[in-house]
Amino acid sequence: MRARELGRKSVVVGDRVSLVGDVSGADGALARIVRIVERRSVLRRTADDDENTAEGRHERVVVANADQLVIVSALADPPPRTGFIDRCLVAAYDAGIEPLLCLTKADLAGPDQVVGYYAELELPYVLVRPDSDLDALRTLLAGRVSVLVGHSGVGKSTLVNRLVPDALRTVGVVSAIGRGRHTSTSAVALRLPRTPDADGDPGWIVDTPGVRSFGLAHVSAESLLHGFPDLVEGTVDCPPNCPHTPDEADCALDAWVANGKADERRLASYRRLLASRSGDADPREPERNPGDPLAGS
């Protein structure tokens, strides 16, 4: 139970709290949360995927006190969507937590195109196959609180069940059109089990529901640019208060890309996020363009 004196302050997964009452954990035990310790990090997303709902553009705290955001993306079935990954990267940088790209279904497709798209960022990544031992991933999770996010159908629940066999997270199937069903319905923190050949804290993972979009209306335009470090240096020659939009003739980012300093798809993604943040575009990631595995994803 939450103490009345906390008012409307919400308690989220990852919060450190102070309790009073019976904390034995026995059946029927009752304790109250009387204090929420100051959060050292807060991962947020804006529910702007449907402005017609009562929750449209409502800021949600996904998890508190996380160290790492694990962006789970399948390499095929469904194919990767770099627009979603870009949004997650912005959210991670804004929250001050480290990103890690986890590419699943590596038995179905290679990672070169996705990894190449993020080459300038030196984004850490790990490949996961159905028969892989997950040792590399466990090493990157050890001693940390890691949040797993990803579209439905990318194999996130399957991955969680492999990491924590007692988790029993519901696993769905991917439809013939490459879309998964939402199988996780709430965020759950899970303690990673110790392995015989590893010492120290194995860490925690927080499994989150599959999401269609990761809204960024709560992120300032300046912080949004920091999610694209490969573009930051290109803004040095921009005029003061440059909006970096396509119709700004003096924006230096177009020349930066034309000179091969950054991928043009990264600039297009950044400008899409700028437009969706200001309400000038659909905040959901656009559908993939036929024939280009990464365009518009």
SS (H, E, C) the chain: CECHHHCCCCCCCCCCEEEEECCCCCCCCCEEEEEECCCCCEEEEEECCCCCCCCCCEEEEEEECCCEEEEEEECCCCCCCHHHHHHHHHHHHHHCCEEEEEEECCCCCCCHHHHHHCHHHCCCEEECCCCCCCHHHHHHHCCCEEEEECCCCCCHHHHHHHHCCCCCCCCCCECCCCCECCCCCCCEEEECCCCCCCCCCCCEEEECCCCCCCECCCCCHHHHHHCCHHHHHHHCCCCCCCCCCCCCCCCCHHHHHHCCCCCHHHHHHHHHHHHHHCCCCCCCCCCCCCCCCCCCC
Position 144 scores a pLDDT of 96
Measured in degrees and rounded to the nearest 5, phi and psi for residue 205 equal -120, 145
Q: For residue 90, what are the contacts with CB-CB under 8 A and spacing of at least 6? A: 216, 219, 223, 224, 226, 227, 228, 273
Question: 171 is written with which tokens?
Answer: 């696993």
Q: How far is CA 289 from the centre of its chain?
A: 23
Instruction: Give residue-wise pLDDT tens across range 257-294.
Output: 999 999 999 999 999 998 887 666 554 554 443 334 55
Instruction: Give residue-wise pLDDT tens across range 171-207.
Output: 544 434 344 444 445 789 999 998 777 678 999 999 9
Position 209 scores a pLDDT of 80
State the Cα–Cα distance between residues 36 and 154, nearest whole angstrom: 34
Position 290 scores a pLDDT of 37
What residues of the chain score a pLDDT lower than 70? 47-58, 168-185, 198, 210-213, 278-297
Pairing of strands 17-21, 31-36: antiparallel
Position 246 scores a pLDDT of 92
Model confidence, pTM: 0.83
Position 148 scores a pLDDT of 96
